[in-house]
Structure 1
Amino acid sequence: MQNQSTQQATTAPVDEKLPLRQLVAFGLQHVLVMAASPIASVFLMSKAMGFSPTLMINLLSATFLVCGLGTLLQSFSLRGIGARLPFMMLPGGAPILIFILIAQQTDVQTASGAVMLTGVFYFLVLPLFRRCLRFFPGLVVGIMLLLVSINLAQVSGKLIAGHAGTPGFGSPGNLLLAFATIALTALFARISTGMLRQLSILLGLVGGTLVAVFTGDFHIEHVSLFPLFSAPSLLPFGMPKFDIVAALPMMIFAVISMVEATGQTMAIGEAVDRKIDARRDVPRTIRGDALVSLLGGFFGTSLIITSGENIGIVRATGVRSRFVTAMGGVILILFSVLAPLTQLIGAIPEAVIGGTGLIVFAVVGTMGIDILRRTDLREHANMYVVALALSAGLLPILIPGIYSQFPSGVRMLLGNGVAIGTITAAVMNVIFFHLGGNRHGHAAAATDGLQATGTH
């Protein structure tokens, strides 16, 4: 009995095995927060490409299946592929747009081939990228998390208010629905204890949905139109075509996503209190992205990457077990074969999802601030690294389309505020701390922050 107690006491929080009912509840919480992304991505792709409803259902099923398998891979790892951290995986917004662009310029078979080529590209470039990881200290990671938070908060804001210039923009009903969701989440976080407090995000989302039911904003009439069971098929577009030139935009994004995966790995390590070895753990995360994206290409999806969204859930709830996200992966796989269940989740109003997202993404920002406060920002070099990186990163976030007149490859890099801000921080870190007379000053403190992330 004593040995069992000792074993439980020495189990790291990230490796803790929770009771099944808790795993299901916490896993569902992760899934509901991120489910809007794969649903929206498939609807966007289907609308842009004119796919039939049958093909759309097939792609939606495939996307949930691949996201679920990828989540299991990142949670458990397999021969150095996967981080063994509580990550969820989902199709990124930018890769979907790139997929559509390639498909419209060539054909959808070439777009699928581009996804597969990019999956292989990850593996080929990773050894070179790994050599650059020492230029991503805690200072750079903190800046990245702050930019991620601001960027995702903007996305949530658009879910709530809509897009400027479109009918219904700033609808008081949607705003009140989002505010009700936020208020209910805060209320549950304040008055609940134990497991219920850890489920406050899920409870707030459910509460916001119930408000939507009473206000008539929750519509499920279309759910009965879908078959009960659905199963994804391999190569839904036929045999892929491989065109390296056509795949270049997606490969450029792959490099950007590797930068983002670096910060996400360090951030999740911070959230679960695990010391991260950047040269070991970051490549594992990226290999997981690579393999899952390659698999997704066979099912007609775009790139599937690790989600920065669930990092905020881990920090906000304090539930750090990777077995929770693994259960989330199982739930996603269940969604992949039950089309009405997927549509029921998809019926949750965007304002409710947006209100929940605002809280989760703001928590990601607090993590960035927490990391940055460990750096002496009164010191000249640190101050300039942060200032220049935030300037570069905030510009495209606050003024979308500012680089629209630039060539596509340059526009893709400069227009991604998280990527260009993080790269600027890394470059400024090199200039201020690795070059010239300041090399032996604060360089050590600046460059060992990455290894220290996740410890206290």
Structure 2
Amino acid sequence: MSSTVHPVDEVLPLPRLATLGIQHVLVMYAGAIAVPLIVGRALNLEPHDVAFLISADLFCCGIVTLIQSFGVTQWFGIKMPVMMGVTFAAVGPMVAMAGANPGADGARLIFGSIIGAGVIGIFLAPLVGKMLRFFPPVVTGTIILVIGVTLMRVGIQWVFGVPVGLTAPKLVSPEHAEWLKTVQSFTTGANPAIPPIPAGLQLAPSVNNPGYAPLSHIGISVLVLISILLIAKYGRGFVSNIAVLLGIIVGGVATALFGMMHFDNVAKADWFALISPFHFGMPIFDPILIATMVLVMIVSLIESTGMFLALSDLVERKITPQSLSAGLRTDGLGTVIGGIFNTFPYTSFSQNVGLVGVTGVKSRFVCVAAGVILIIFGLIPKMSALVESLPTFVLGGAGLVMFGMVAATGIRILSNVDFKHKRNNLFVVAVSLGMGMIPLIAPSYMMWLPHAIHPLIESGILLATMSSIVLNAFFNGTVIDEAELREAAMTAEAH
């Protein structure tokens, strides 16, 4: 290899490319499969459809990673070692959409909002530099903290059960249900002494549900959590970096040994299948939902900007305004691709930026190889069916770590914020964190507000975003230092 070739453009021997590419895939794999599992189950989709979402996500992760690392024309791709994955910032709004519109129609609404936001994101990319001043670390740190805290609810529910349905803490007493049925039979006659039962009358759940938080489920979740912590402490290098994935594998093996995991859907799944666009039907484009996802897109673009600046320092290649715009356009293009192929908004994965620092390998072709591997994984339905077959309580212990690390990353970014000389920053964080908790603590708070604005205000992440931007502008103005943004991104390796 000629000494004139920059390390970023160096093409390594194929065996080394494959090995390093698999490393990158394993580091981001747990995060990549988490979002389709969350959204698919929030939509109440059938297991084979959730498995399809996982396949589609891995496939699109690979496609968008190829575009970003290899580059496609001068308009798309930053041409640096970047791995692309689903942004957790979009999970809150998507789960809210899924809760209001379960099933295939909800999926079509979600994918319509993603496509619309991605198209807008492509055109916003060159303007991001002008928006940076609204997103200093006090704002981005607060947003990421709220994202993590919001997602931790999902991890906790994976351990114990969701508050409604088969895993609700309380069930209706069979005796009470039988009594009501008997009374109802009397009211069908012509007995005027018994008034008819009011429409919509329901019995209150009052009996403890054995399906909620059984000790066996908690035990497996604790096993996964302890495994992750032990691997993180005693593992070295790459092994430590994939602690979450290894912990999930330990939990899956234990669950299978105890007969708590079933492989029927894995046996039925094909070995190879193409990812079909618009699997759930043509997307539905709702202006309010698109506007909601555009806000998420802006936050994602700001995060990516900081990540690219940090990566440029790491690989010693200066980013030009043109290359930055090309990288950010790829976030938008990747999001459009995601919506078309039944998956989600994409952004750069910072844990893989950290892996570049750990390995010292700066070649972007390592991520190109990783992209090819992800595409192959996405075309093997049996792999996705195996992931889908993991019981949620196996993922619970890992979810506490993954989502807690997102929150901890927000705290790390905020640790570099000047609270001593700029005490009003405390108000920015305090009020915005409280705003972010409203939908979590009081999900019905919007019942008297216009239904048209519900998608905008039922996500704590969006409330915290808008609050922190406005309060920061009010207290601090709108000036940001590029070095400050870069430092915040370097702090965010776990996000």
TM over 0.5: yes
RMSD of aligned residue pairs (Cα, Å): 4.3
Report Cα offsets for 1:381-440 as digits up to 9, x if no partner: 2222222222222322344343344334533233222222122222112111228xxxxx
Q: How does 1:328-407 map to 2 (within 5 A)?
A: 328-379=370-421, 380-407=423-450
Could you tell me how far 1:134 is from its partner in structure 2? 1.2
Q: How does 1:129-144 map to 2 (within 5 A)?
A: 130-144=129-143
Letter in 1 for 2:121: Y
C-alpha spacing 1:200/1:293, structure 2 compared with 1 (3 Å): closer
Aligned pairs, how many? 433
Could you tell me how far 1:76 is from its partner in structure 2? 4.3
Report Cα offsets for 1:362-399 as digits up to 9, x if no partner: 23333322222222213322222222222222322344
Q: How does 1:22-37 map to 2 (within 5 A)?
A: 22-37=20-35
Report Cα offsets for 1:294-319 as digits up to 9, x if no partner: 334444x2543337xx5467669975
Answer yes or no: is 1:230 the counterpart of 2:273.
Answer: yes
Whether the 8 Å CA contact 1:335–1:341 is kept in 2: the answer is yes
C-alpha spacing 1:237/1:140, structure 2 compared with 1 (3 Å): closer
Report Cα offsets for 1:176-201 as digits up to 9, x if no partner: 21111111111122222233333333
Question: Aligned partners of 2:441 and 2:57: how far apart in 1?
Answer: 31
In structure 2, the residue matched to 1:413 is 456
Report Cα offsets for 1:253-294 as digits up to 9, x if no partner: 232212330453256458858489797787555422321233
Could you tell me how far 1:127 is from its partner in structure 2? 5.3
SS, match of residue 228 in structure 1: coil
Whether the 8 Å CA contact 1:137–1:448 is kept in 2: the answer is no
Specify which structure has the higher proportion of helix.
1
In structure 1, the residue matched to 2:252 is 209
In structure 1, the residue matched to 2:488 is 453
Q: How does 1:39-78 map to 2 (within 5 A)?
A: 39=37, 41-42=39-40, 47=45, 61-78=55-72
Answer yes or no: is 1:304 the counterpart of 2:356.
Answer: no
1:89 counterpart (76, 85, 90): 85
**Structure 1 runs not aligned, ≥5 long:** 436-442
From the CA coordinates, give the structure whose radius of gyration is larger.
Answer: 2
Could you tell me how far 1:248 is from its partner in structure 2? 0.4
Whether the 8 Å CA contact 2:36–2:53 is kept in 1: the answer is no
Question: Aligned partners of 2:47 and 2:264: how far apart in 1?
Answer: 20
Letter in 2 for 1:88: M
Could you tell me how far 1:159 is from its partner in structure 2? 1.7
**Segment of structure 1 superposing worse, 363-372 or 275-284:** 275-284
Question: Aligned partners of 1:339 and 1:44: how far apart in 2?
Answer: 21
Could you tell me how far 1:99 is from its partner in structure 2? 7.9
Question: Aligned partners of 2:226 and 2:104: how far apart in 1?
Answer: 46
**Segment of structure 1 superposing worse, 60-69 or 365-374:** 60-69
**Segment of structure 1 superposing worse, 221-230 or 127-136:** 127-136
**Structure 2 runs not aligned, ≥5 long:** 168-210
Question: Aligned partners of 2:26 and 2:480: how far apart in 1?
Answer: 42
TM-score by length of 1: 0.77
Report Cα offsets for 1:308-356 as digits up to 9, x if no partner: xx54676699757676665553333123321112111222232222322
Whether the 8 Å CA contact 2:44–2:102 is kept in 1: the answer is no
Could you tell me how far 1:128 is from its partner in structure 2? 5.6
Q: How does 1:241-320 map to 2 (within 5 A)?
A: 246-265=285-304, 268=307, 274=313, 284=326, 286-299=328-341, 301=342, 303-306=344-347, 310-311=349-350, 319=358
C-alpha spacing 1:403/1:16, structure 2 compared with 1 (3 Å): farther
Q: How does 1:109-120 map to 2 (within 5 A)?
A: 116-120=115-119
Question: Aligned partners of 2:221 and 2:271: how far apart in 1?
Answer: 31
In structure 2, the residue matched to 1:431 is 474
SS, match of residue 286 in structure 2: helix
TM-score by length of 2: 0.72
SS, match of residue 216 in structure 1: coil
In structure 2, the residue matched to 1:439 is none
Whether the 8 Å CA contact 1:119–1:293 is kept in 2: the answer is yes
